[in-house]
């Protein structure tokens, strides 16, 4: 769609040029219409849970970088965090006594608290004890090579892209957003209401969540079923 829109724009420019140079007698540029783009027309780039497991299995959790990346991937796919939200996590955002994970300024400038998944908690503890370099700041995730600076949003997304490629998971433009979409799709497949899902992943508006409704195959199957009919 964007390629067709770009070609239409180039054609309009060319037609205006021909009119200015008097090669044609009328300005035909306005007769070239751009393709219509409909709301909710795109498909979220989620992957199956089998592909998630294959991606996680490709992480070498014996190394410091593997311990770090495993915890990052679990945070992305379990809570649907954005790459920047993972990069911004600090040691103060984990309440170990109450088993809570706080994501600062997730929605409308407010922090959101989540139950800390045992699997995610174990992965973070393993990294903190055996992989995180000595640092004076409170950020959780750091580079594993000097200088040991906190990870950036781009670095977090890059690690997700690396392991998706390594696992051979076919997805356009892989990155942290792929695992975020997968988290949302999994909640939708489990029949959670769109409002609940939107609140869980910090969507700013209901429209951001509504796009996933059209790829809920089971829900669409129920809509398609007629009296005495079976949709295969």
pLDDT value at position 225? 58
Provide the residue ranges of all domains of the chain, joining segments of one domain with +.
2-31, 49-217
Indicate if 82 belongs to the active site.
Answer: yes
- Residue 216: is its pLDDT beyond 60? no
Kindly report whether the peptide bond that precedes residue 147 is cis, defined as omega within 30 degrees of 0: yes
Domain 49-217, CATH: 1.10.443.10
Q: Mean pLDDT, to the nearest integer, of 220-224?
A: 49
Among 12, 61, 177, 186, which one carries the catalytic annotation?
Answer: 177
- Residue 34: is its pLDDT beyond 90? no
Taking the C-alpha atoms of residue 126 and residue 88, their distance in angstroms, rounded to an integer, is 19
pLDDT value at position 226? 54
Q: What is the pLDDT of residues 100-120, one digit of tens each?
A: 999 987 765 667 899 999 999
- Residue 172: is its pLDDT beyond 80? yes
Indicate if 79 belongs to the active site.
Answer: no
Please give the residue that has the higher pLDDT: either 8 or 98.
98
pLDDT value at position 49? 93
pLDDT value at position 232? 46
Taking the C-alpha atoms of residue 134 and residue 123, their distance in angstroms, rounded to an integer, is 18
Among 82, 106, 132, 181, which one carries the catalytic annotation?
Answer: 82
């Amino acid at each position: 769609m964007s390629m067709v829109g770009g070609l239409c724009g180039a054609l309009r420019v060319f037609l205006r040029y021909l009119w200015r140079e008097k090669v044609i007698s009328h300005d035909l540029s306005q007769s070239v219409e751009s393709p219509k783009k409909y709301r909710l027309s795109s498909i979220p780039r989620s992957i199956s849970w089998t592909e998630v497991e294959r991606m996680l299995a490709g992480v070498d959790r014996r190394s410091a970088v593997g311990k770090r990346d495993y915890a990052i991937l679990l945070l992305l796919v379990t809570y649907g965090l954005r790459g920047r939200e993972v990069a911004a996590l600090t040691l103060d955002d984990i309440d170990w006594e109450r088993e809570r994970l706080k994501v600062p300024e997730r929605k409308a400038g407010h922090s959101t608290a989540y139950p800390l998944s045992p699997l995610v908690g174990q992965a973070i503890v393993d990294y903190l004890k055996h992989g995180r370099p000595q640092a004076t700041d409170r950020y959780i995730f750091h580079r594993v090579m000097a200088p040991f600076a906190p990870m950036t949003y781009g670095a977090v997304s890059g690690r997700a892209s690396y392991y998706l490629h390594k696992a051979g998971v076919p997805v356009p433009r892989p990155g942290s957003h792929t695992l975020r979409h997968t988290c949302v799709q999994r909640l939708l497949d489990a029949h959670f209401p769109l409002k609940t899902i939107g609140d869980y992943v910090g969507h700013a508006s209901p429209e951001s969540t509504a796009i996933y409704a059209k790829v809920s195959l089971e829900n669409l199957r129920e809509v398609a079923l007629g009296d005495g009919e079976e949709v295969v």
